[in-house]
Structure 1
C-alpha cells in the first residue's frame, strides 16, 4: 500500500491530539488532586464517591446528635443529683420532726423549709437545656410543673394552668379564673372520656359560693355538618347561657388540648445515633414524680399537712418517711439509667468517629490520585510528546523533490 504525505500528516495530527488530551487529563488530575472530574471519566467511581459522601454526611449528623444528647444527659444527671439532695434533706427533716421534744413552733419551721423545697423541686423539674425543658417529654416549649397558690407541686399546661390526674380523668385548675363580669367565675374544668365538665362558681354570697357543673359532650363535634359543630361552638352553647361572653368561652375552649398535657409530659424522646439505631434518651416529669409507685406530689402535701397544727406526727416518721425512701430509690434508679445512657453515648461516639475515619479513607482511595504515580505518568507523556514533535519535524517536511 502506498503511504502518502497526507496520510502521515493525518495520523500525526490524530496521535498528537490524543497525546495532548492525555496530558491535559493528567494536568487536571494533578491540579485538582482528584481521579475523576466528570461522570464519564469513570461512572462506577463517581457512583461510589457520591455514595461515600452521602454516608459521611449522615455520619457527621449522627455525631452531632450524639454530642447534643451527651450534653443533654449531663444536664439531666446534674438535675437528678439536685433532686436527690432535696429529698435527702426532706428525709433528714422528717427524722428531726419526729423528735418528741419538738413543739409546734419547731415543726412549723420544718414545714416552712419543706415548702421551700417544693419550690426548689419545681425549679429543678423546669430545667431548660438549649431552649428545651428536659423533663417535659414532647411538651418541650413550656414548663412541665408549677407550684399553685396552695403551695402544691403540680403539672402545668402550656398556659401555666395546673393539670392534675383525678379518679375520673384529668382536671385543669385555671391560674387566672374566667369571670362573667359579675359574680360567676370558672376556676377549673375536668375531662372524663369525651365529656368536659366546667365548674361555675356563683359568688353572690362569697362565704358560701355555689358550684354548678356544666357538661359539654365533645363526641358531638361534627365538622361535616352545616354549620360545622366545633368544640368552640359547643362551649358557646353551654356557657353563653350561663352569662359568659364569647371571648371568655373562646379562651376556655382553647384549653381543651391541655387535657393531653400529661400524655405529652410522659412521652419518650428518641434520637438516631446510627443508621436504623434509635435511642431513648430523656427522663420526664412523670417518671420522676410517679415512677416509684409513690406520688411525689401527694407525699409532699401529706408531709406539709401533718407538720401543721393538728397533724399526725406518727405519719411523718412512719408512712411519709417510707414514701420518701421510695422516692429517693426511684431517683437513684433513674440516675443510674442516665449514667448507662451516657456510657452508651460515649461508645456510640467512638464507633461513629471510627466509621468516619474508615469511610474517609475509602473515599480517598476511590477519588484521590497518587501524586507520585501521576507525576511519573506526566513526565512520560511529556517525553512521548516531545519525541513525536522531533520525529515529525524530520519526516513531514520531506518531499519527493528532496530525492531528485
Structure 2
C-alpha cells in the first residue's frame, strides 16, 4: 500500500485529536476530583455510583429520623420529670393534710395548692413539640388543633380517645415507638383522685380519709416511674441504633468515594505523561508537514 502525504497528515491529525481528548479527560478529572463526569465515561461506575448514593441518602434520612426521635423522647422525659416532681409535692401535701394539727383554714390553703398542681399536670399533658402534642397518641394535632386534654369546671377530666403508637423508622426495617402511652400517666383516675383530694381538704374530712390519698398518689407515682423506665430503655436502644447508623454512613460514603473519586496522584501522573506524548506528537507532526515537491517547482 502506498503511503501518501495526505494519509500521514490525516493520521497525525486523528492522533492529535485523540491526544487532546485524553488531555481533556485528565484535566476534567483533576478539576472535578471524579473518575467520571458523565455516564458514558464508564457505565459500570455510573450504575454503582447511583446505588451507593441512594444508600448514603437513605442512611442520612435515618440520621434525621433519629434526631426527631431524640427530640420527641427528650421532651417526653422532661415533661415526665416535671410530673414526678408535681406528684411528689402532692404526696407531701397529703401527708400534711392528714396531720390532725392542721386547722380548717390551713387545709384550705393546701387544697388551693393541690388545685394549682392539678392544672399544672393538665398543661404537662398538653405538652407540644414542633407543633405536635406528644401525649395524645398518633393524633398529634389534638382535637382539631385544640389541646387533647381538658379539665372541666366540675373537676372531671377529658382524655384523648387516640392511644395509637407513634413509630419512626430509624434503620432499614426497624421502627421504634417514640411516644409515651397516653393512658399510662394522664388518666381520668389521676385527676379524679386529685379532685377528690382537694374536696376532702376543703370539706374538713377526717384525717384517716385524707391519709388514704397518700396510697393513691403513690400508685400514680409508680405509674410515672414505670413510664419513665420504659422511655429510658427505648432511649438506650436508640443510642445503640444511632451508633450503628453512623458507622454505616461512614462505610457507605467510603464505598461511594472509592467508586467515584479520582486518585489525584494517578491523575496528575497521567496528565504529565499525556502532555509529554502530546508534545512529541506535535513535534513529529511538524516534521511530516514539510514542503512538498510542488513547492520547489513553483
**Aligned ranges for residues 123-272 of structure 1 at < 5 Å?**
123-141=123-141, 142-155=146-159, 261-262=160-161, 264=162, 266-272=163-169
TM-score between the two structures when normalised by the length of structure 1: 0.67
Per the TM alignment, residue 19 of structure 1 is displaced from its structure 2 partner at its CA by 1.4
- Does residue 309 (structure 1) correspond to residue 203 (structure 2)? The answer is yes
Within 5 Å, which residues of 2 pair with 1:4-403?
4-141=4-141, 142-155=146-159, 261-262=160-161, 264=162, 266-290=163-187, 295-309=189-203, 311=205, 313-318=207-212, 320-397=213-290, 399=292
**How far apart are the structure 2 equivalents of 1:115 and 1:127?**
19
Query: What's the secondary structure of 2:113's corresponding residue?
Result: helix
Question: What is the CA–CA distance in structure 2 between the aligned matches of 1:107 and 1:152, rounded to whole Å?
Answer: 22
The structure with more strand, counted as a fraction of residues = 1
In structure 2, how many angstroms separate the alpha carbons of the residues matched to 1:74 and 1:395? 79
Work out whether residues 154 and 297 of structure 1, in 8 Å CA contact, stay in contact via their aligned partners in 2: no
Q: Structure 1 regions of 5+ residues with no counterpart?
A: 156-260
- Please report the RMSD computed on the Cα atoms of aligned residues, expressed in angstroms: 2.4
The answer to which structure, 1 or 2, has the higher relative contact order (CA under 8 A, 6+ apart) is 2
> Structure 2: which 5+ residue stretches go unaligned?
none
Counterpart in the other structure of 1:191: none
C-alpha displacement of 1:342: 2.3
| Count of equivalent residues | 293
Which one has a larger percent helix, Structure 1 or Structure 2? 2
Contact 1:118 1:153 in 2 (8 A): no
Name the SS of the counterpart of 1:143 in structure 2: coil
* Aligned partner of residue 149 in structure 1, secondary structure: coil
Q: 1:67: Cα distance to partner?
A: 1.5
Alpha-carbon distance, 1:35 to partner: 0.8
Deviations 1:298-321 (A, max 9, x none): 322332333342645423323x32
| 2:99 aligned counterpart, secondary structure | coil
Structure 2 counterpart SS, 1:3: coil
Structure 1 Cα separation of the partners of residues 282 and 49 of structure 2: 38
Contact 1:76/1:134 (<8 A) preserved: yes
Contact 2:135 2:180 in 1 (8 A): yes
Deviation (angstroms), 1:117: 1.3
Task: Quote how far apart the aligned CAs of 1:146 are.
Answer: 1.9
